[in-house]
Amino acid sequence: MPRGYVQQTNGWHPNPLCEEKRCKKPHIDDANFIGVVSESYRQNEHIQYACKNNVTVTLTCEENGWNGIQSCSACSNVKVPNGFVVPYKDTLYYTCEEGYKLPTKGWWAEAKCNDIVSSELQPCIENTKCGDLIIPNAKVTVALPGESAQVNCKEGYSTKVSHFSCRDGKWDSNGVPLKLICTPIAKPCSPPRKVQNAVLVTPYQGEYLSNSTVTYKCRESYTAAVGETTIRCMTGQWGETVIMCTPPAQ
C-alpha cells in the first residue's frame, strides 16, 4: 500500500480507488469506423474501421493503448527502391540513396497521396545512368535503362543530332546546346504586332513557325473595319495587312 494510507477497523483511510485503464476513441485520418463507436473502451475490447482502399483494420484495446493501428493514407506503405520517402500531410517527398539519383532534375521529388501515387513516383537510377532528356520542340524516346535516346523534332523543325548516348551519367550532345537541337526549317516570326481594341484568339508564343497563322478578334461591340483579321508568317515576316477595330456608331 502506498505511503499516506492508514489501516483502520473499517478499512484503509483514505479509501484507495483502483481506476480501470481504458482506451479513448482513436483518431485516424481518412478512416470510417464500423458499427457503434464509443468514446472509450475497456481492455480486450475491439473497434473496426475501413480505409478508402477497402482495407479493414481491427484494433484491440490493451493496457498500453490500442494495438494494430494502421494509417489509411495512400502513402503509408509506399516504397521507393534504392531511396526513401517522407510522408507529410497529403504529399509524399522522396529522394535516392547514395550511388543513385532521380531521372528528373533535382535531388528530391514529390507525389500526391492518392490512389495512383505509385505511378507518379520516379524510380531511382544508378549515377552512371542518364535520366530524362528534355529538348524543346522534340519528342525524345529514351531506351532503358537510360543508355541511349532518339530525338524526333516536331513538324517545322529539323536536327543534325538525332541520337544521344549516355556518358558517365550525362547525355552527350556533341557540344550542341539542347535548346538548339531542333531548329526551325524556315526563319520564324516574332509575335505579331498589337492592334488596339483587339486580341489574338491563338495562344501566345515566343516565335511562330513559317506558314503559321494568327487571327485577331475585336473587342465586344467593335468591328474589324479594314484589312483581313488573319495573317500568315512567311520566312520571318508577317503578311502585310492593316487591321483596325472601330467602335460602335454613336
**Does the CA dihedral 198-199-201-207 come out positive or negative?**
positive
What whole-number percentage of the chain has pLDDT above 70?
A: 87
Question: Is domain 198-246 classified as CATH 2.10.70.10?
Answer: yes
Number of helices (H), then strands (E), belonging to the chain: the values are: 1, 25
Average pLDDT over residues 143-165: 86
Fold adopted by 6-67: Complement Module; domain 1 (2.10.70)
pLDDT over threshold 90, residue 121:
no
Residue 9, pLDDT score: 62
Residue 205 binned pLDDT confidence (cut-offs 50, 70, 90): very high
Strand partners for 167: 170
The CA-CA-CA angle for residues 194, 195, 200, to 5°, reads: 75
Phi then psi for residue 126, to 5 deg, are: -65, 150
Residue 17, pLDDT score: 60
Neighbour count for residue 184 (Cβ, 10 Å): 18
CA 22 to chain centre: 42
User: C-alpha grid cell for residue 167?
Assistant: 556518358
* Backbone angle region of 118, left / alpha / beta, with phi > 0 → left and psi within -120 to 50 → alpha: alpha
User: C-alpha grid cell for residue 15?
Assistant: 479509501
- Give the model confidence (pLDDT) of 50-74 as tens digits: 887 677 889 999 988 999 887 777 6
Every domain of the chain with CATH number 2.10.70.10 lies at: 6-67, 198-246
